[in-house]
Structure 1
Amino acid sequence: MSEHIQPENTLQPEGVSLQDSQEPVAPESQSSESVSASTPPAPASDAVSDAVPVGETPSAPAEVSLESRIAALEAERDEYKDLLLRKAAEFENFRRQKEKEMAALIKFADKNLIKSILPIIDDLERVINNAEKFLANNPDAKIYVDGVKMVHQKLLKTLEARQVKRMETIGKKFDHNFHEALTQMPKADLEPDTIVEEFEAGYIMHDEVIRHAKVIVSKPVESAE
């Protein structure tokens, strides 16, 4: 009995067909020469047009010279120096003005007070000038008159301590800067505008008139026709 030998079945992976096992054949690629021939040439670069010709160098901005820079700095320095000097001079003038004002303020701080005391001194002097007539009828009042004189002297010394001086007027030439003429009196033996009588005393404080003297001045005697 003859045996029939069957050919062995080719084992294939499950789920894979013969068609899938065959690899597809890729189409032949075109040659590089044909591709390059069919590709259009690229446009020329803009950088090529801006290229600097051979042998030439790009122009650089002109540099400021050292001398001109130094001159500009010196001019600026002189300007600030002049400004500083002017400001310093202005401040010095301001300082001197303020010192002058302060000195004047201290110098004449008592001016108004002293001016208010002057009428009191005038009243005391009127009492003293009329004391002789008063004492003739009231001799026991001498002690009171002496007290008034003492107060008067103390006030005058207080004024002198503050650089306040009484003007001397009798026999002096009239000066409107120091005197105030109340009236004129004919005097043949005196030059015109000579002070012959003082009605109210004048006072000077630190060479400044704080009260003009009220006086009577002379005038020529009119000749009878």
Structure 2
Amino acid sequence: MKPKHQPDAVLFDLDGTLLDTAPDLGHALNQVLRAHNRPIKRNAEIRPYASHGSHGLLKLGFGADFNDENRLTLRQQFLDFYEQHVCVDTRLFDEVTELLQQLQALEIPVAIVTNKPTLYTELVLQQIPPLAAIGVVVCGDTLKVAKPDPAPLLHACERLQASNANSINPANCLYVGDAERDILAGRQAKMKTVLANYGYIAPEDDVASWRADFAIDSPLELMQLLVDRG
């Protein structure tokens, strides 16, 4: 069913929204924990924090022992391992391929806006064909600022505009993500925000306080949302 009122574009976060990267991020964390004779973490413990980046995961693993003295060393150990094992068990979330196909059929432009550094983003995307086909990808180090600053989202709109004949107005775009910084960035960019409830949300996260405009429990629910909005 075609929406009566289509968004100019749909922008997506990557980890926890399009890709389930928690297994490989967890492997990297546990590799560092083993190297320092620390107990490893179970996947169920790691998963809710997988969107928190290397800093958040190392904090989960080392607790108060993750401090200014060892922060840089531990982070580099984490990233070195992750770079070599970036897409071992990483997979698209169920329904993502179908969602992207349906958006393409409606000629709705899409982009990825992630805080993941370019190096690791490119290593992952080149192994995931449906995402490798997305032409506009803004990473955590593309600009001088990252989410929750709205600039990366606005930059993605500018790049989409450059490759599309139709106008791309941020106020008529959707941003889909699973973290508070995603919703904050989207709101500050004047976009409609969609919380991916199926992503990496920690027990202590007060998602109601994030004030997302909409929430979805699976990727394809986004299509029903577009129809309902129409």
Normalising by the smaller structure, the TM-score range is under 0.3
Scaled by the length of structure 1, what TM-score is found? Answer: 0.23
**How does the TM-score come out when normalised to structure 2?**
0.23
